Amino acid sequence: MNATANRTNSPEWNCIHTNDSATMFPTNFAWGAATSAYQIEGGWDVDDKGPSIWDTFCHEGGRLVFEGQSGDVTCNSYELWEEDLRCIRQLGLTHYRLSLSWSRLLPEGITQHVNQKGLRYYNKVINDLLASDVLPMVTLYHFDLPQALQDQGGWKSPEIAAIFDSYARFCFETFGDRVKLWITLNEPYVCAKLGHEDGIFAPGVKEPGMAAYLVGHNMLRGHARAWHSYNVLYRAKQGGSVSLAINSDWAEPLDPASPDDTAATERYLAFTLGWFAWPLFVTGDYPEVMRSSIEVRSKELGYQEGSRLPRFSKDEPSLLGTADFFALNYYTSRRVKQGECCPGVLGLKSDQDAEGVVDPSWPVCGVSWLAVVPDGLRKLLKYVKDTFNNPAVYITENGFSQVGPVDMEDVQRCGFYHDIIQEVARALREDGVDVRGYFAWSLLDNFEWADGFSVRFGLFHVDFSRPERPRTAYRSGREYAGIISKYRSQTMVNT
């Protein structure tokens, strides 16, 4: 039975009424929610913070951010952190995933100049979380490169890997006595593709078929250096884990009987998940199908200078083995067919030569790209287990959005959280996937990048029209709290 149909209208906390009592989660399962610095903090130029590429992108005219909005103030979490903590406690989270604003800590991106007030802010956040029995998962980079580094070439420049490594070391050194779960980079695919191919995310570069591969490459190099730094300098005394958050749709052939669709599906997954997971978990290099597709297409285009997909140098720290767990951001699924992209066009889409379509039976929630397919998560988790050597997995993001008039009694999202947690449970119990935690995106309604405030992912509604930015739990926030409390108490009974 659909979970939503089985639910009462009672507004109290712990309001789930389902017959899934067989569902169990491991004792230490992480029940989390996630946010990112630019999306919630505001305080974009206070207390010595340097500008980031998102500050620039939103402030420059002619960018395609919804109604010219920006993250200048957003949830104002820089001032209102204690309100966020109240929300975190209300949900009963065991973990909270946040990101550090690189340019708040290091205004020019380099460790020669540290902003003490930024340092104080993050120390308070981390200490308050721990004092509330909530473990932080900290992302070092969530789309917001210091503008000063962009001015030197940003992620396209090979030097960025070493600069990121020194920022990472600074963070490990400063916060690593208390932070045990680290994400180096969030969604390098999105930074590469939306930021440097389509140009719809900061820094707004549009160099199809070229820049994205270079950016992805330097992000991987930066990640690998940071992981090796942690491994050599901090692991023994701090005992934490470090990974890279990789986003991917689940994908399956539009026509399962069609060899073309099957091959296109393989390319689709290779160009998203595989691009960043293969180097870390399988070979230390990009998936073979990605290399060969790009090479073939490059030749067709008469491209002379070797592949557009760079090679990893043997003189640099190796990529293979540089993830202590698999950090997966899952939102949606696609059925895939061979691409219809015109040959002769330079671009990722034409290299990939695969097109994902939404199955008409899948509901689309809020934003057009977000077809809601909870069982796609289970399938993707199984694929991750089988393809990447059974890693420990944290689902570091997953969510359901709302657009249009605010609906505080969001029963559909309640049903969604119920269904998705059931899929996680099945992956654990029936497929044997080593899932360690689930982070809902997002704790709060926030600045949804190019969609501004028009798309709301929060478990808490934020009233952006009022200076106090009041936070109010959606019904789905109460539902998620109920799910957490139910499974945590089951776990406790059984331990």
**Under the rule (CB under 6 A), what is the footprint of ligand NOJ?**
36, 39, 186-187, 329, 397, 441, 448, 457
Nearest CB to ligand NOJ, comparing residues 97 and 337: 97
| The token pair that represents 455 in the structure block | 């798309």
Closest CA to 252 of 365, 347, 373, 369: 373
Please report, for residues 57, 131, 180, the alpha-carbon distance to residue 127 in angstroms, rounded to integers and kept in the order given.
32, 6, 13
d(CA 449, CA 434): 32
Nearest CB to ligand NOJ, comparing residues 187 and 355: 187
Name residues whose C-beta falls within 8 Å of residue 288's C-beta, 6 or more positions apart in sequence: none
| The token pair that represents 422 in the structure block | 């059931």
Count of other CB atoms within 10 angstroms of residue 28: 11
397 flagged as catalytic: yes
Nearest distance in Å: CB 242, ligand NOJ: 18
In the block, which residue shows the tokens 């103030």?
73
Whether 431 contacts 378, CB under 8 Å: yes
d(CA 16, CA 19): 10
| Residue 75 identity | C
Buried b / exposed e along 147-181 (16+ C-beta atoms within 10 A): bbbbeeebbbeeebbebbbbbbbbbbebbbebbeb
Nearest CB to ligand NOJ, comparing residues 65 and 428: 65
DSSP letters for 178-189: T--EEEEEE-HH
CA 297, 303, 307: angle at the middle one, nearest 5?
A: 70
Query: Is 480 buried (19+), middle (13-18) or exposed (0-12) by CB count in 10 A?
Result: buried
Q: Out of 252, 355, 397, 479, pick the active-site residue.
A: 397
Nearest CB to ligand NOJ, comparing residues 37 and 254: 37
Nearest distance in Å: CB 452, ligand NOJ: 11
Nearest distance in Å: CB 367, ligand NOJ: 7
Q: Sheet containing 354-357: which strands, arranged edge to edge?
A: 250-253, 333-338, 354-357
Nearest CB to ligand NOJ, comparing residues 164 and 441: 441
Nearest distance in Å: CB 315, ligand NOJ: 32
Nearest CB to ligand NOJ, comparing residues 16 and 273: 273
Nearest CB to ligand NOJ, comparing residues 234 and 441: 441
Nearest distance in Å: CB 176, ligand NOJ: 23
Nearest distance in Å: CB 449, ligand NOJ: 6
CA 79, 122, 178: angle at the middle one, nearest 5?
A: 145
| Residue 238 identity | Q
Query: Nearest 5°: phi and psi at 92?
Result: 75, 30
Nearest distance in Å: CB 357, ligand NOJ: 20
Closest CA to 122 of 109, 149, 148, 140: 140
Nearest CB to ligand NOJ, comparing residues 329 and 338: 329
| The token pair that represents 141 in the structure block | 């980079």
Nearest distance in Å: CB 85, ligand NOJ: 21
- Known catalytic residues are 397
